[in-house]
């Protein structure tokens, strides 16, 4: 607030400036209306990225999604900000950054409907324009502290069921690794889903290394079988 003057001994602003933080958008979107926050480096969001961004603004959870290579054959849906970066870095460190289709992260215990809408977008992008070559979807994460793994998996499972035909057309192979509260129930549901869908789906708990499924996904898409 600068400059200001005094009126009857009380401060009175002559000019002032305020800043909005998009971190607080989920609490204030009704007050702020359709405020457009600029993206770094002048990026323009795609329609799918915009949809996830709008979901993210309306929830106290975190829902992030960036398309890196629409024709990539390795796609991720990772729980946790740190874990999501580790998965992306691991694919790159193994020499296959060019095959990484996206960066995706969900955390903060999103509810089932939020996860469902989020997973639909990731799967739609991961299965678009099938070219006959195999693809891989990594549904990964570390060991959660408070997020109910089974509850978040319910949303993902619903989306996978909805997109069954797309998954098969894209020759998608799914790799799951997760730990945390109620993870045994969540992993059991995933294993049952794999049998129902007829889509290759491998499931691991915290006994497996967090990023081991990255190497499996790469081996899968590069194999000729």
Residue ranges covered by each domain of the chain: 20-222
Q: Which residue, among 36, 20, 40, has the nearest Cα to 28 in the 3D structure?
A: 20
The model carries a pTM of: 0.82
Mean pLDDT score, 143-152: 91
Token digits for 50?
A: 């915009």
Would you identify the CATH topology of the domain 20-222?
Rossmann fold (3.40.50)
What pLDDT, on a 0 to 100 scale, did the predictor assign at position 24?
81
CA dihedral 92, 157, 26, 36 (to 10 degrees): 60
Residue-wise pLDDT tens digits, 49-89: 999 999 998 898 999 999 999 999 999 999 999 999 999 99
Exposed/middle/buried for 58, CB within 10 Å: 0-12, 13-18, 19+? middle
Q: Which residue has the tokens 């990484």?
A: 100
Best CA proximity match to 126, nearest among 166, 178, 97, 183: 166
Task: Report percent pLDDT > 70 for the chain.
Answer: 96
Task: Band the pLDDT of 102: cuts 50, 70, 90.
Answer: very high
d(CA 103, CA 31): 30
- Residue 218 to residue 221: CA distance in whole angstroms: 5
**Predicted confidence band of residue 41 (pLDDT cuts 50, 70, 90):** low
- Interval 87-97: pLDDT, tens: 999 999 999 99
- Cα separation of 20 and 217, whole Å? 41
Q: pLDDT value at position 34?
A: 75
Q: Count of alpha carbons within 13 Å of 158, Cβ hemisphere only?
A: 16
């Amino acid at each position: 607030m600068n400059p200001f003057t005094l009126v009857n001994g009380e401060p009175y602003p002559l000019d002032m400036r305020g800043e909005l933080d998009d971190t607080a958008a989920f609490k204030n979107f009704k007050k702020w209306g359709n405020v457009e926050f600029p993206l770094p480096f002048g990026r323009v969001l795609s329609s799918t990225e915009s949809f996830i961004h709008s979901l993210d603004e309306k929830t106290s959870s975190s829902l992030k999604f960036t398309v890196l290579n629409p024709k990539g054959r390795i796609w991720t849906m990772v729980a946790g900000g740190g874990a999501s970066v580790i998965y992306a870095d691991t694919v790159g460190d193994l020499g296959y950054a060019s095959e990484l289709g996206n960066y995706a992260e969900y955390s903060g215990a999103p509810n089932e409907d939020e996860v469902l809408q989020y997973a639909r977008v990731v799967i739609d992008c991961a299965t678009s324009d099938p070219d006959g070559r195999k693809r891989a979807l990594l549904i990964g994460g570390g060991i959660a502290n408070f997020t109910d793994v089974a509850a978040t998996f319910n949303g993902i499972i619903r989306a996978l069921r909805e997109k069954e035909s797309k998954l098969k057309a894209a020759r998608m192979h799914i790799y799951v690794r997760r730990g945390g509260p109620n993870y045994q129930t969540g992993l059991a549901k995933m294993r049952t889903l794999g049998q129902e869908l007829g889509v290759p789906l491998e499931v691991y708990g915290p006994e497996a290394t967090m990023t081991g499924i990255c190497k499996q996904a790469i081996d899968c898409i590069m194999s000729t079988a």
